[in-house]
C-alpha cells in the first residue's frame, strides 16, 4: 500500500534553459526528457561539444503539488511514521513542514530533488547552473511561490540510486549540498533544518 502511495508522487521534470559550458565557449547544454518506470520522468542535462560526442552529465527533477498533496490526507495522521518507506516518510515530513512554516498553500509549492552531476564533471559549476536554471523556469512559468529541497546526497551504482546516509562521507557530502543551495538563495526551514526552501522574489 505504502509503495503504491510513493509511486503517486510522480516526478514532473522542469524544462531547463540552454547555457554555455564553463569548460569551452563552443560547448553548450541540451535538455532531454526521459520516461522512467511508474510514470516518472527525468530531465537529462546533456553537454554538447563540437570535439566530442554528446554526454549526459546530470539530471534534476521536481515533484509538483499534485503529486505530494496526497500526503496531507487525514489517513496519514494515524499511521506509524516509522513503518513508512523512506521516500514516503520524507514526502510526508516535507508536506508537514510546508503547512507549518511556509505562508502559502500546498498548490504553490514544488519539491526539488534528485539533483545529480556525473562525478567526472563535478567541481565545474554545473550543479549551480542547473539549480539556477530550474528555479528560474519554475518561478517564471508556474504559479509556484516556494521551492523546497531535502539535501540528501546519493550516487548511482548499476543505474540504481544509492542513498549515502550512514556512509563515512555522508555528512561531508551533505554539507556541500547545503552550501550549494545556500549560494543559490535557499535557507533552512526553522521547524526542521534538514529541509531548505527558496521563496519567489
Shortest CA distance to 64 belongs to which of 116, 112, 132, 19? 112
Are 151 and 196 in contact, with CB atoms under 8 Å apart?
Answer: yes
User: Is the pLDDT score of 2 beyond 50?
Assistant: no
Interval 35-86: pLDDT, tens? 665 445 566 778 777 677 888 888 888 787 777 777 777 777 777 777 877 7
The domain ranges of the chain are 2-17+60-199
Buried b (16+ CB within 10 A) or exposed e, 48-61: eeeeeeeeebbbbb
Confidence of residue 188 (pLDDT cuts 50, 70, 90): very high
pTM of this structure? 0.75
Return the axis-axis angle of helices 126-141 and 170-183, rounded to nearest 10°. 50
Positive or negative, the CA dihedral 168, 111, 141, 57 is positive
Positive or negative, the CA dihedral 85, 75, 109, 101 is negative
Q: How many angstroms separate the CA atoms of 178 and 175, rounded?
A: 5
User: Is the pLDDT score of 162 beyond 90?
Assistant: no
Q: How many angstroms separate the CA atoms of 43 and 98, rounded?
A: 25
Interval 136-145: pLDDT, tens? 888 998 889 9
Report the length, in residues, of the chain.
201
Amino acid at each position: 500500500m505504502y509503495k503504491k502511495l510513493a509511486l503517486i508522487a510522480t516526478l514532473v521534470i522542469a524544462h531547463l534553459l540552454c547555457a554555455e559550458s564553463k569548460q569551452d565557449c563552443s560547448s553548450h547544454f541540451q535538455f532531454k526528457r526521459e520516461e522512467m518506470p511508474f510514470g516518472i520522468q527525468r530531465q537529462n542535462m546533456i553537454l554538447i561539444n563540437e570535439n566530442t560526442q554528446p554526454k549526459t552529465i546530470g539530471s534534476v527533477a521536481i515533484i509538483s503539488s499534485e503529486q505530494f498533496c496526497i500526503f496531507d490526507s487525514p489517513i496519514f495522521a494515524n499511521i506509524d511514521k516509522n513503518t513508512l518507506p523512506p521516500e514516503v516518510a520524507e514526502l510526508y515530513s516535507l508536506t508537514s513542514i510546508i503547512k507549518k512554516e511556509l505562508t502559502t498553500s500546498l498548490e504553490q509549492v514544488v519539491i526539488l530533488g534528485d539533483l545529480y552531476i556525473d562525478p567526472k564533471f563535478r567541481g565545474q559549476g554545473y550543479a549551480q547552473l542547473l539549480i539556477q536554471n530550474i528555479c528560474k523556469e519554475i518561478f517564471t512559468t508556474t504559479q509556484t511561490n516556494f521551492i523546497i529541497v531535502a539535501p540528501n546526497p546519493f550516487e548511482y551504482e548499476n543505474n540504481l540510486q544509492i542513498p549515502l546516509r550512514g556512509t563515512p562521507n555522508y555528512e561531508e557530502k551533505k554539507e556541500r549540498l547545503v552550501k550549494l543551495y545556500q549560494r543559490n538563495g535557499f535557507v533552512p526551514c526553522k521547524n526542521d533544518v534538514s529541509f531548505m526552501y527558496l521563496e519567489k522574489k
